[in-house]
Structure 1
Amino acid sequence: PVLVGFTDKLPRPNPDEVAATRNIAWADFLDLARDPNGGISPWAREEAELLEANEEFRRLFAANCTT
């Protein structure tokens, strides 16, 4: 399953589990996910495809995000 959440807070990832983060627009992330050389992990590419194809996610995204 893919879990989705929305917040206006900055992420606080566990440094033992996450080396780096960056904020990018969803459309830019999808472009990276579609590019085999985009540097996105296979599981993240699969999840991006699932989310983009999901009507409920697109509705939630439109209601909660500006980009």
Structure 2
Amino acid sequence: MNKLIDYFRIGPVFRYFINVFRKPGPNRPSSVNLRMMHGINRISILMFLFAVIVYTVRHCVR
């Protein structure tokens, strides 16, 4: 049963979403490739949230 709970644990996912929008600390590596990857991830997260909001509004209006 404990393995099933660990399988559906989504805390690390939300922690990543929050950390993508933060500035990197002095101890974290920073390269052009890493900054580009995080920039693309930010755009993807924002587009996904926008799509969920649009879908929810359209579903509620019907």
TM-score, length basis structure 1: 0.31
Return the index of the structure with the highest Cα Rg.
2
Which is helix-richer, 1 or 2?
2
